[in-house]
A and B are shown apart, each in its own frame.
Chain A
Amino acid sequence: MTRRTLFAGVGAVAAAAALSACSYFGSGESEPSTLQLDPGALDPINGLIATTRLHLLRLNAAIAATKAEAGRLTPLRDDRQAQLTALEKERARLDPAAPGSAATSSTAAPTGAVTLPETPEAIISAVRGDAATAQVQFTDAISAASRFRAALYGSIAAALASHRAVLV
């Protein structure tokens, strides 16, 4: 594994800078970092989008697996789809090259296979757990966001609280 792959991630630039300055490998010579800052990769909205896409997949699977609960789950799925669309639109607003922008439009419903529990009760519990997880993520994202994004994230976090409530 190379240094590059070891430190790939959010803290990569800081880690590489520290290594370079401290001559961690003992060469005594500082070498230029091969890591480049990617502002897009550091945008917290990417994590929120990824979570929302995953939960949409799981909601679609849950609706398919529990026909009797489709009436309750479908509006929640529609909410999450609307949230995903808004998040991708917001990301594209600041980063036109990002997925979901007009140039790379990809706001279609996500597809893929996911694994769910077997019983309807356990599936509902899993969906409720997803809402709780997402609620925490959006809540945590509020503090450091711009005002516009804070209002968006807060609005979604509160909506997710209501999702949990209707799934009890």
Chain B
Amino acid sequence: MTSPAPTPSGADPAASGPADPSAAGSDAGSVDPSLSGSDAGSTAAATPAPSAAQPGPLTADAIEALQSALTAEQAAVWAYGLVAAYARDQVEMITEARSGHLLRRDSTTARLIQGGATPPEPAAAYDVSVDVKDPASALQLAMDIETDAAAGWRVVIGSTDDPELRGFALAGLSDAAVRLAMWKQVAGVTPTTVPFAGQA
């Protein structure tokens, strides 16, 4: 991982880093990841709707990328508990963000099982390189969580030719990008957006 987001305690952070999404791939069929017509005032409104296509079998590339993305989601669920302990003025945002990661974690686990792969087990605790001791450092951790989640989902998009899986990953990437912008707004960090979500 390129940012100081949580990693399983004692584990090699690089082991869950995203693969290179620049590998050339073949063309794929169609998918309809249509978007909500409403403005993106919330994370959900910015998320592409689930694809109508049925999930297909997973390739080795896709499995590896999904496992990394799942690891980031598992870490996010754990780490938001730490954020909540120090950023007590942001209860609503934290609750919404954690719920989003929880849903994404579970759906990703199910997607891996459905594709015949083994999902990684969540760690009991995670190392965070941010020394969380006050609201400011808690907000920094929240931004790192979303940065890592976005990176994980971007890699999934670039690791598959399956339109359904690409749509699934784009939902995770969009959610993380919106949350990252929202946390930056709260923290007073500028610019609040990035041109390429999930890209280091």
Binding site for B on A (CB under 8 A): 75-76, 78-80, 82-83, 86, 128, 132, 135-136, 139-140, 142-148, 150-152, 154-159, 161-168
Chain A residue numbers with a CB within 8 Å of B150 are 158
- Of the candidates B28, B169, B170, the one having the most CB atoms from chain A within 10 angstroms of its own CB is B170
Interface residues of B in 145-200 (CB under 8 A from A): 150, 154-155, 157-161, 163, 166-167, 169-170, 173-174, 176-178, 180-182, 185, 190-199
Our pick among A79, A158, A163 for the contact of B170 (Cβ within 8 Å) is A158
CA distance A155 to B167 in the complex (A): 12
Chain A residue nearest to B61 (CB atoms) is A147
Asked whether A148 lies within 8 Å of B191 as measured between CB atoms, the reply is no
Binding site for A on B (CB under 8 A): 21-31, 33-35, 39-43, 46-48, 150, 154-155, 157-161, 163, 166-167, 169-170, 173-174, 176-178, 180-182, 185, 190-199
Asked whether A144 lies within 8 Å of B157 as measured between CB atoms, the reply is no
CA distance A32 to B90 in the complex (A): 69
Our pick among A75, A148, A155 for the contact of B193 (Cβ within 8 Å) is A75
A142-B157, A158-B173 as given contacts; A148 in contact with B46, CB under 8 Å: no
CA distance A148 to B23 in the complex (A): 6
Asked whether B22 lies within 8 Å of A151 as measured between CB atoms, the reply is yes
Chain A residue nearest to B158 (CB atoms) is A151
Asked whether A155 lies within 8 Å of B23 as measured between CB atoms, the reply is no
Asked whether A143 lies within 8 Å of B158 as measured between CB atoms, the reply is no
Chain A residue nearest to B172 (CB atoms) is A158
Asked whether B31 lies within 8 Å of A142 as measured between CB atoms, the reply is yes
A162-B46, A162-B181, A165-B41 as given contacts; A148 in contact with B174, CB under 8 Å: no
Asked whether B196 lies within 8 Å of A147 as measured between CB atoms, the reply is no
Our pick among A83, A139, A147 for the contact of B24 (Cβ within 8 Å) is A147
A150-B166, A162-B46 as given contacts; A157 in contact with B174, CB under 8 Å: yes
Chain A residue numbers with a CB within 8 Å of B41 are 165, 168
Asked whether B170 lies within 8 Å of A75 as measured between CB atoms, the reply is no
Chain B residue numbers with a CB within 8 Å of A139 are 33-35, 48, 170
A76-B193, A78-B191, A142-B166 as given contacts; A155 in contact with B25, CB under 8 Å: no
Given A155-B198, A162-B181, 10 extra CB contacts under 8 A: A82-B195, A135-B35, A139-B170, A145-B28, A146-B24, A151-B154, A158-B176, A162-B180, A164-B40, A165-B43
Asked whether B28 lies within 8 Å of A148 as measured between CB atoms, the reply is no
Asked whether B160 lies within 8 Å of A161 as measured between CB atoms, the reply is no
Our pick among B21, B43, B163, B178 for the contact of A151 (Cβ within 8 Å) is B21
Minimum CB–CB distance for B182 against chain A, Å: 6
Asked whether B46 lies within 8 Å of A154 as measured between CB atoms, the reply is no
Between A and B, 19 residue pairs with Cβ closer than 8 Å are: A75-B190, A76-B193, A142-B31, A145-B28, A146-B24, A147-B22, A147-B23, A147-B160, A148-B21, A151-B154, A152-B196, A154-B157, A155-B173, A155-B196, A158-B177, A161-B40, A162-B180, A164-B40, A168-B41
